[in-house]
Structure 1
Amino acid sequence: MMSDTFIYDEMECRVKEKNPNMVPLLNSLAYGERQYITFVDRYDRLYRDIVEKATKTPFGLAYRNGGTDEWDAVKREWFDYKIKPMLIDDAHEITLPIGHPQKNILYIAHPLLIGVYYPAANFHPLTLETKYFELINLLSSLGAKEIEVEYLSGLKRESSFNIKVDIGVSSTKSNINSTKTESTNILYKATLEGKEPSLPEKLSWFHNEISWQQLTNDRMNYGLKEFQLAMEYNNDFGIDDFIKSEATFPSLFGGVELGGKYVSHQNTVWKIKGTF
């Protein structure tokens, strides 16, 4: 009788012939199905689970008897995992922070930017930062001459944000650098030359933010001169509860870790005001 190790090796050889890049499949899924991933060298865990099921299910028996395709077997098993294993060789097709990927780290998908993943430990600060960058970029593109960002509650940028990632959001006149001024609650303050109002090419949060849309309309169509609005981050996307309840991390794929001390979600409000 063939050993399981021999079966895994044979499966890997045959599956690799079909170039099983899971990234396009991952990106096609709804957010809840592609939310969590980790990176592995090979799909041993998948192979083992398929072999273990081979005597218990009709599909498994069909595989064991050579009646189904290995690639189909891997895809079926892969879909069943809440934390999707991804081959580290395919990581170049996923947007990650500098220094990543690392094996056995839990990564969480950005809720709006498909293909962007962050280590679980810093998911909330990094996701909040993309919202902040987008709003500053929007205000600059609309021709803002003065922008001030004040911390009111929740996560505070200067203490929580210590990882940078290229998210494809363009900036203007280096106005994305935060400046600490006379008040420790002022996160950013800038004076700009101003410009004719326009919309940035890449917008993600904007489409879900009614106040941003109203501000843009007032600026583009009615010559808005001053603005003040609250930027809020109040959705944890179910992540805190998942991490608290997930007791199987140590046993998954040789042990899955969070990538550092986990920064839990906090309802966050920053006040942003300025002039055009």
Structure 2
Amino acid sequence: MKSTEKKELLSRPYAERQLIVVLSDDQIKAQQRYTEEQVESKFVKALRTISTIIAPSPIALAEATLEIYKGILNLREQGIKTLSISQSEASRIKFPPGHPRFGVLYIAHPAAPNVYFPFAQFHRLTFEHKFSEAVILLMSLGADFLEVHHINGWSKEFSSKMDISIPHVNVGGGFEASSANKSGSEILFTANFIGNASSALPDNLVWFYHEPTWQQIAEGRLKYGMKDFSLSVRYEDDLGVNMGLKAAATKAKLEIGGRFEDHQSTMWEIVGNFG
């Protein structure tokens, strides 16, 4: 797939590229030979013609491709914009380990255009990514202590399943779960970073530029020597990835990549101080 085709996908508005299904290059070629309006029998015939050259089992390929394509059309008929992309194009997109898989419905990351998550894990992975960025931001700005409070939404059980990767290069201390309470709120995590002399914005931020309060904390630290901070990590919009979409995908016989974890409107507050 040409790079210009990649650019075409990622430059589209979020609503148009939010949902994708990955197909093999050969399946895409077969699909493109006929438009959605052409009869199913002609589509199968085209698939079988191409499959005789590229696969030892043309009928199996034709039937498998047709089922996936019918699922995509089913979603479109329900008013749900869904794109099919080739395996070549998918290789230029970031997926979790083990992905992409053919026939699975993927959802675009709301802040990083080249990242897609399986439907079932979308909310957990998106919130996890946002929270991790908030912590990395605070560490890079020189935090020597932070404490994460649950305000509403996902709490201790959810946090225990998060895959949080916190770098400790030139920073002492640890990052661990806690069940202590302070001011009536549950403390989910605490972290100490001994001798953290960092004072800069980290690279590859994506959420930061959509969060004015995060920007204010960064400015306060970098320009005015701020010592204490309170940063909120909010996750309030389900982006249409909900039980209704799950039902539509199930009806269309598309895979969702596991057990669906539904959205919860969530806010965690990170408090602490800079060295």
* TM-score, length basis structure 1: 0.71
Residue 248 (structure 2) pairs with residue 247 (structure 1): yes
Determine the structure 1 residue equivalent to 2:234. 232
Matches within 5 A, 1:151-166: 151-156=150-155, 159=158, 162=161
Where in structure 2 are the equivalents of 1:18-97 lying within 5 Å?
22-41=5-24, 42-43=27-28, 44-49=30-35, 52=38, 82-97=81-96
Aligned to 2:264: 266
Aligned residues between the structures: 229
Indicate whether 1:105 and 2:104 are aligned: yes
Tell me the distance in 1 between the aligned counterparts of 2:173 and 2:240. 29
Query: Paired residue for 2:46?
Result: none
Q: Give the superposition deviation at 1:162.
A: 4.9
- Secondary structure at 2:35 match in 1: helix
1:8 alignment counterpart: none
C-alpha displacement of 1:24: 2.8
State the Cα distance separating 1:124 from its structure 2 match: 0.8
Judged with a 3 Å threshold, the aligned counterparts in structure 2 of structure 1 residues 20 and 182 are, in CA distance, closer, same or farther, namely closer
Task: Report the CA distance shift for 1:248/1:215 in structure 2 as closer, same or farther (over 3 A).
Answer: closer
Instruction: Tell me whether 1:187 sits opposite 2:183 in the alignment.
Output: no
Distance 2:161 2:223 in 1: 38
Runs of at least 4 residues off by over 4 Å: 18-22, 160-166, 174-178
> Which amino acid counterpart does residue 233 of structure 1 have in structure 2?
Y
Q: Whole-Å Cα distance in 2 between the matches of residues 27 and 165 of structure 1?
A: 27
Residue 91 of structure 1 and its aligned partner are, at CA, apart by: 2.4
Percent identity (aligned): 33
Per the normalisation by structure 2, the TM-score is 0.71
- CA change 1:106–1:50 in 2 (3 A) is closer
Gaps of 5+ in 2: 40-72
Pair 1:241–1:204, CA change in 2 (3 A):
same
C-alpha distance in structure 1 between counterparts of 2:226 and 2:164, whole Å: 33
State the shift of 1:232 in Å.
1.1
How much has 1:142 moved relative to structure 2?
Answer: 0.7
Look up the match of 1:209: 211
Q: Deviations over 1:12-63 (max 9, x none)?
A: xxxxxx869843321121111110001112124443435717xxxxxxxxxx
